[in-house]
């Protein structure tokens, strides 16, 4: 057996397996990452992630574990419902990424809610 | 004010020295002009020293609250505790770059000190490459993102550190991660230098072995500390979320792990030369790629980074490194073709190759998941993948690697015989016992049924190897401590895997709202909410809920910072039992004295931290006091086949 074959064959087999794993896993579990207006324009089937800014109408019920608020980007907005613990920095004005789907009632039912860290390190950029 | 001018001056001087060192080293190396090679090296030391001076100046500015510097204002204030003020040095974009440059300068200097013995030309080229990298960082620091930028008006106080970062983890996690990243430039520089100089032997590997090990240890510790910090501070019950920031730290670690194994094949058997060059280059490119991703904000992440002008510069640097190393490999690697008798596929060499290919497979999975938003965004709608993708794509590969860990350590070099098959009886027995136990206990999830028995097999292999040598010649452990240290690291990794698998497959959680006196039971653990307390502190209000768990008291709390727009900060309460962590997050509080909690029971999480400590211990014990000078290949007689 030549060197090329000894090296190439296992490498090709493993590359093939890895390629298949990547292909099958990313086909099954990738989601669209949209802004609110993009979601309004075209709502894809299945779960999506939507980024937007939390508006000043946060309502908490069930001891704070259930939350309802409006998420907005430049032009479009949508109501969001979420049940679960909220990130520490959750408050009106911050950007959140919600993962879930837009229901027939026009409300986005979020499965997860992630807050964008205001910044990794500083509270806000200093402006003079 | 004066500190700002001095610091900027030190950076500029460093840049000039670095550029000079790079030019001179390449020229002198090409001409083999010994004197100038030495001058080039000294210029590198000078550039490193200038970086050191800049670092000291920035630290002084921070500690003396010199608010004329924008960097000091943006990352500290008068009320920040002193250790965190000091940590502000690497707490921001510009400072963390300076810290990186400092480590690169210090370790680069250390690697150059005794480099002449591996050949004047290789040493000169290595100095040149290190100086180029250092100069790039100094250029970014001096011109694009300077930590010494001055404000036109000096404010009375700074903006302070985000409360999430006011934590002990801040003191240790970032510097370790950054040092791990920075230190891998050294194996890269020497590998490229050897390629440039046309040297195919393993001298560069031996010379940079300590730096590769240091880089790997720091990267391992950095990953573990990051997981530990996220778990104890962020309060979502887990420690790994496949965020791009985590991914770009994981990929270089995987590549370095592959290199640490494959480099042994070259040291011991003289094989895999080109492969090792490729791996070192890959690891370094992944470091640069990670830095670019983390600091440019091109992929969506829960972390939004301080977006600054350095993104394009790092992209250009990444591109330059890519072109340079690809050209080097293309033009030079072909010249090292050596004719050695191929080893059988089932041998330690074969095991290392398989392990390398699998690790690269994991890197490919993680890389694709990380860049998918970029690629799909260019082609149309932006898509992202979540944890499910990584688990489904990388999970099977990890299972094979785990199986290989049980077999690999007992695989002999070159030739496999009956002793190898005999040695497999212990891991096989351990795997079968654990598998039977899991089946009896009612576990039916296939990933769990693979992960635990294979971890047990990996541990059994290590124990049987230790047992064998302890019964016969225990002193061998000290003499071959590199090997037995590596086994210890393997054992630690298997323990980590068991902890990850247990907490992943066995996590239970429950959301509850309780009145004082009510109880909640999760996974057989019962907690009683006894009441709550409110403390008004200087800059925040602390709301503490008290829960009783057996004879222990858990106090999850929630702090609200009025000064930061009412931002809240959760303090998780964690208590550890022999089999699991009980992890309580105070989600909200009611006006009637009720409180809402999220309670997690995370099995065996402590194994992850304990295993991590064992890994580091193994690497340290295996390499303390090891004399690296004598190459084993040279010492050993190479069997020569004589014609009959």
pLDDT tens string B601-613:
999 999 999 999 9
pLDDT (0 to 100) of residue B41: 93
For an interface test with B, the pick among A120, A125, A127 (most B C-beta atoms closer than 10 Å) comes out as A120
Contact criterion met (CB below 8 Å) for B235 and B570: yes
Q: Name the residue facing B372 among A1, A3, A30 (closest C-beta).
A: A30
Condensed to tens digits (0 to 9), the pLDDT of residues B30-50 reads: 988 888 999 999 999 999 999
Query: Which tokens hold the place of A70?
Result: 């409006």
Helix H or strand E encompassing A49: strand A48-54
CA distance B568 to chain A (A): 5
pLDDT (0 to 100) of residue B565: 62
Q: What is the mean pLDDT of residues B157-181?
A: 80
pTM of structure:
0.89
pLDDT > 70 fraction of chain A, expressed in percent and rounded: 80
DSSP assigned state of B563:
G
Contact criterion met (CB below 8 Å) for B77 and B158: yes
B644 pLDDT band (50/70/90 cuts)?
A: very low
A51 touches chain B (CB under 8 A): yes
Helix H or strand E encompassing B333: none
Check pLDDT > 80 for residue B163: no
Q: Do the Cβ atoms of B385 and A32 come within 8 Å? A: no
- CA dist B483 and B261 (Å) reads 12
Check pLDDT > 90 for residue B290: no
Within 8 A of A60 by CB-CB distance, chain B residues are 588
Contact residues for A120 (Cβ-Cβ < 8 A; gap 6+): B165, B303, B304, B305, B306
What's the N-to-C CA distance of chain A in angstroms? 71
Contact criterion met (CB below 8 Å) for B507 and B601: yes
The more confidently predicted of residues B590 and B254 is: B254
Query: Which tokens hold the place of A103?
Result: 């229901």
Contact residues for B600 (Cβ-Cβ < 8 A; gap 6+): B237, B507, B508, B509, B522, B581, B582, B583, B584, B585
Q: Name the residue facing B159 among A93, A97, A124 (closest C-beta).
A: A124
B421: burial class by Cβ within 10 Å (0-12, 13-18, 19+)?
exposed
CA distance B131 to chain A (A): 29
Within 8 A of A122 by CB-CB distance, chain B residues are 74-75, 92, 159, 161-162, 306
Q: Do the Cβ atoms of B598 and A117 come within 8 Å? A: no
State which residue of chain B sits closest to A18, comparing Cα positions: B361
Contact criterion met (CB below 8 Å) for B40 and B128: yes
pLDDT (0 to 100) of residue B631: 44
Q: What is the mean pLDDT of residues B155-174?
A: 77
DSSP assigned state of B442:
T
DSSP assigned state of B376:
H
- CA dist B298 and B439 (Å) reads 46
Domain A32-115 classification at class level = mainly beta
Check pLDDT > 50 for residue B642: no
pLDDT (0 to 100) of residue B297: 64
Rg (CA), chain A: 21
pLDDT (0 to 100) of residue A76: 82
Largest CA distance in chain B: 95
How many Cβ atoms are within 10 Å of B391's Cβ, its own excluded?
16
CA distance B215 to chain A (A): 24
CA distance B74 to chain A (A): 6
CA distance B457 to chain A (A): 23
The torsion angles phi and psi of B48, rounded to 5 degrees, stand at: -65, -40
- CA dist B291 and B178 (Å) reads 10
Q: What is the mean pLDDT of residues B165-175?
A: 79
The more confidently predicted of residues B616 and B564 is: B616
Contact criterion met (CB below 8 Å) for B348 and B413: yes
Q: What is the mean pLDDT of residues B69-85?
A: 86
A24 touches chain B (CB under 8 A): yes
Contact criterion met (CB below 8 Å) for B78 and B157: yes
- CA dist B467 and B7 (Å) reads 57
Please tell me chain B's helix, strand, coil percentages from 3-state DSSP, rounded to the nearest 5: 65, 10, 20
Check pLDDT > 90 for residue B108: yes
Check pLDDT > 60 for residue B628: no
Nearest to B505 by CA among B455, B457, B432: B455
Q: What's the mean per-residue pLDDT of chain B?
A: 86
pLDDT (0 to 100) of residue B358: 92
Condensed to tens digits (0 to 9), the pLDDT of residues B440-478 reads: 988 888 989 999 999 999 999 999 988 888 888 888 888
Q: What is the mean pLDDT of residues A59-74?
A: 79
For an interface test with A, the pick among B567, B585, B594, B600 (most A C-beta atoms closer than 10 Å) comes out as B567
Domain locations along chain A: 1-30, 32-115
Q: Do the Cβ atoms of A126 and B303 come within 8 Å? A: no
- CA dist B251 and B363 (Å) reads 6
Which range, A13-22, A97-106, B394-403, has the best average confidence (pLDDT)?
B394-403
For an interface test with B, the pick among A48, A61, A63 (most B C-beta atoms closer than 10 Å) comes out as A63
Q: What's the mean per-residue pLDDT of chain A?
A: 76
Q: Do the Cβ atoms of B383 and A99 come within 8 Å? A: no
Query: Which tokens hold the place of B298?
Result: 């091109």
Check pLDDT > 70 for residue B10: yes
A43 touches chain B (CB under 8 A): no
- CA dist B609 and B473 (Å) reads 32
For an interface test with B, the pick among A6, A20, A22 (most B C-beta atoms closer than 10 Å) comes out as A22
Rounded to the nearest 10 degrees, the angle between the axes of helix B185-197 and helix B168-183 is 0
pLDDT (0 to 100) of residue A119: 46
Q: Do the Cβ atoms of B304 and A116 come within 8 Å? A: yes
The torsion angles phi and psi of B309, rounded to 5 degrees, stand at: -80, 0
Contact criterion met (CB below 8 Å) for B300 and A33: yes
- CA dist B352 and B320 (Å) reads 30
Q: What is the mean pLDDT of residues B373-393?
A: 84
For an interface test with A, the pick among B174, B361, B600 (most A C-beta atoms closer than 10 Å) comes out as B361
Q: Do the Cβ atoms of B392 and A25 come within 8 Å? A: yes
For the CA atoms of B181, B186, B187, B190, what is the dihedral angle to 10 degrees? 150
A33 pLDDT band (50/70/90 cuts)?
A: confident
Q: Do the Cβ atoms of A65 and B364 come within 8 Å? A: no
- CA dist B474 and B486 (Å) reads 16
State which residue of chain B sits closest to A62, comparing Cα positions: B513
Within 8 A of B386 by CB-CB distance, chain A residues are 29, 31, 99
Check pLDDT > 90 for residue B75: no
Q: What is the mean pLDDT of residues B264-281?
A: 84
Check pLDDT > 50 for residue B385: yes
């Amino acid at each position: 057996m030549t060197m090329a074959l000894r090296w190439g064959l296992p490498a090709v087999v493993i590359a093939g397996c890895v390629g298949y794993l990547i292909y099958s896993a990313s086909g099954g579990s990738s989601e669209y990452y949209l802004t609110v207006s993009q979601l309004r324009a075209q709502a894809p089937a299945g779960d999506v992630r939507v980024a937007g800014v939390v508006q000043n109408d946060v309502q908490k019920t069930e001891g704070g574990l259930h939350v309802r608020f409006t998420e907005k980007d430049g032009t479009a907005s949508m109501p969001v419902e979420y049940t679960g613990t909220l990130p520490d920095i959750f408050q009106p004005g911050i950007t959140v990424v919600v993962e879930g789907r837009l229901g027939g009632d026009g409300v986005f039912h979020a499965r997860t809610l992630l807050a964008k860290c205001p910044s990794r390190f500083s509270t806000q950029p200093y402006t003079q | 004010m004066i500190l700002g001018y001095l610091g900027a001056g030190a950076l500029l001087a460093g840049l000039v020295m670095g550029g000079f060192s790079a030019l001179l080293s390449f020229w002198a190396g090409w001409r083999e002009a010994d004197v100038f090679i030495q001058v080039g090296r000294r210029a590198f030391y000078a550039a490193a020293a200038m970086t050191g001076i800049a670092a000291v100046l920035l630290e002084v500015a921070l500690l003396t609250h010199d608010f004329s510097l924008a960097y000091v204002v943006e990352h500290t204030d008068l009320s920040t505790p002193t250790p965190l003020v000091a940590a502000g040095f690497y707490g921001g974009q510009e400072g963390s770059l300076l810290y990186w440059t400092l480590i690169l300068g210090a370790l680069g200097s250390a690697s150059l000190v005794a480099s002449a013995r591996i050949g004047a030309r290789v040493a000169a080229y290595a100095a040149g490459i290190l100086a180029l990298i250092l100069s790039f960082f100094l250029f970014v620091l001096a011109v694009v993102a300077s930590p010494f930028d001055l404000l036109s008006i000096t404010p009375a106080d700074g903006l302070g550190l985000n409360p999430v970062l006011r934590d002990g983890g801040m003191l240790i996690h970032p510097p370790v991660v950054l040092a791990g990243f920075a230190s891998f430039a050294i194996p890269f520089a020497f590998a490229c230098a050897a390629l440039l100089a046309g040297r195919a032997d393993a001298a560069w590997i031996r010379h940079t072995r300590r730096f590769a090990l240091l880089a790997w240890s720091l990267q391992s510790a950095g990953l573990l500390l990051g997981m530990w910090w996220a778990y104890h501070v962020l309060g979502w019950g887990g420690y790994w979320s496949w965020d791009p920031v985590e991914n770009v730290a994981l990929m270089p670690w995987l590549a370095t792990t592959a290199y640490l194994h494959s480099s042994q094949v070259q040291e011991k058997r003289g094989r895999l030369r080109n492969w090792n060059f490729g791996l070192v280059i890959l690891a370094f490119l992944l470091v640069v790629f990670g830095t670019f991703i983390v600091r440019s904000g091109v992929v969506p992440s829960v972390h939004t980074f301080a977006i600054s002008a350095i993104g394009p510069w790092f992209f250009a640097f990444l591109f330059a490194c890519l072109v340079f190393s690809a050209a080097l490999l293309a033009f030079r690697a072909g010249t090292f073709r050596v004719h050695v008798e191929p080893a059988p596929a089932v041998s330690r060499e074969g095991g290392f190759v398989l392990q390398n290919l699998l690790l690269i497979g994991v890197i490919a999975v993680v890389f694709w998941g990380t860049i998918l938003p970029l690629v799909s965004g260019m082609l149309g709608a932006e898509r992202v993948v979540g944890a499910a993708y990584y688990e489904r794509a990388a999970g099977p590969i990890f299972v094979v690697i785990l199986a290989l860990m049980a077999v690999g350590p007992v695989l002999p070099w070159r030739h496999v015989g009956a002793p190898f098959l005999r040695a497999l009886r212990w891991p096989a027995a351990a795997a079968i016992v654990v598998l039977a136990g899991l089946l009896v206990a009612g576990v039916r999830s296939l990933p769990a049924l693979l992960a635990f028995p294979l971890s047990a097999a990996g541990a059994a292999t290590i124990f049987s190897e230790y047992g064998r040598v302890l019964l016969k010649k225990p002193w061998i452990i000290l003499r071959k401590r590199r090997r037995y240290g590596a086994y210890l690291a393997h054992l630690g990794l298997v323990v980590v895997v068991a902890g990850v698998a247990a907490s992943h497959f066995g996590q239970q959680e429950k959301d509850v709202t309780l009145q004082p006196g009510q109880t909640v039971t999760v996974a057989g653990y019962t907690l009683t909410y006894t009441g709550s307390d409110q403390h008004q502190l200087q800059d925040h209000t602390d709301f503490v809920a008290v829960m009783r768990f057996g004879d222990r008291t858990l106090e999850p709390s929630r702090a609200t910072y009025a000064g930061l727009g009412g931002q809240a900060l959760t303090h998780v309460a964690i208590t550890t039992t022999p089999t699991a962590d009980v992890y309580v997050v105070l989600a909200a509080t009611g006006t009637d004295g009720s409180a809402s909690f999220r309670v997690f029971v995370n099995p065996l999480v402590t194994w992850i931290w304990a295993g991590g400590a064992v890994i580091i211990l193994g690497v340290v014990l295996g390499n303390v006091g090891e004399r690296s000078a004598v190459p084993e290949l040279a010492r050993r007689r190479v069997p020569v086949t004589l014609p009959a």
